[in-house]
Structure 1
Amino acid sequence: MSTSMGVTALDHSVQETNVWLKAIDEQLALESRHHAYNALRAVLHALRDRLPPEVAAKLGAQLPIMVRGIYYEGWHMATTPTKERHLDEFVAHVGRELPPRFPIDPLAAARGIYEVLWERLDPGEFEKLMAHFPAQLRNLQG
């Protein structure tokens, strides 16, 4: 019986991840779910790397299981948090995480992902998360 529950949980996580990717695809007017995945991954990694490890873990705990896997992929906790204080530094970090010739600029990707996070996460928790960023990095959502 537990095997069935485990598969159901994974199926639900796949569905939930697809809902997130569809929301990102629509928010950013991208041409594919693959681009939505790349944008989500790039911005989540830039956010994660800018946060103190204990705050990064709190954000990770709020994400759907599969999105959480994307978030933690390749994380080296000892090298965080980065010291990006200005918008251009953060956007450059997002840009380094995006594949070459990505169809939208990194700032637009970051703004779109912030919007989706704002919609999908608990607003109070998202506000606490944003309090750990300098004002320039806090106010990306339109």
Structure 2
Amino acid sequence: MVDAGYAAFSTTVDRTNRVLKEIEQAYGWPKERRSQSYAALRAVLHALRDRLGVDEAAQLAAQFPVLIRGVYYDGWDPSRVPQRMNRDEFLGRVRREFSYDVDGGMPRLVQTVLHALRPHVSHGEWDDIRAGMPSDLAAVVAV
């Protein structure tokens, strides 16, 4: 565990590092590619956040570790959501923010990131998120 000088900070850094490590392990990336796993996390979080309405976005964020919550909210303009996106538009949004090539393309990247976040979010919350999406996109965010 990282010692950030304050227990709550150390815990959130540790939880965030575990999420990033899980993304890296899914792709076989070494820790030296941490900026790539962070870019993946950020791109997926921002696309998901902007697809959701304000209340649903806030309910999801409340379940994240504090540091991931900060990444999620970074640059958010709640007056511009929800942005209606089908599967292809959502994946295109992730692609615009994630400039690396990855095996399996954007659908696998989204599922990998969401799978890494899964332990932090209740089943009911994931169900609520998917319920408000078109079926083609709901299938991509199923974890």
Instruction: Return 5+ residue gaps in structure 1 as ranges.
Output: 1-5
Runs of 4+ in 1 over 4 A off after TM superposition: none
Residue 120 of structure 1, CA deviation: 3.6
Give distance in 2, aligned partners of 1:15 and 1:106. 26
SS of 1:75's partner is coil
1:30-88 deviations in Å (ceiling 9; x for gaps): 3422211110100000000000011000011010000000000000111111111x211
Give distance in 2, aligned partners of 1:118 and 1:14. 17
Residue 115 of structure 1, CA deviation: 2.0
* Residues 17 and 119 (structure 1), Cα distance of their counterparts in 2 relative to 1, 3 Å cut: same
Give distance in 2, aligned partners of 1:82 and 1:67. 21
Task: Tell whether 2:105 aligns with 1:122.
Answer: no
Hey, what does 1:65 align to over in structure 2?
Answer: 66
Output the TM-score relative to the length of structure 2: 0.85
Hey, what does 1:37 align to over in structure 2?
Answer: 38
Number of matched residues?
134
Q: Quick check: 124-133 or 114-123, which moved more?
A: 114-123
Aligned CA RMSD, in angstroms, stands at 1.7
SS of 2:62's partner is helix
Hey, what does 1:3 align to over in structure 2?
Answer: none
Give distance in 1, aligned partners of 2:111 and 2:27. 9
| One-letter code aligned to 1:74 | G
Output the TM-score relative to the length of structure 1: 0.86
Percent identical across equivalent pairs?
A: 36
Instruction: Return 5+ residue gaps in structure 2 as ranges.
Output: none
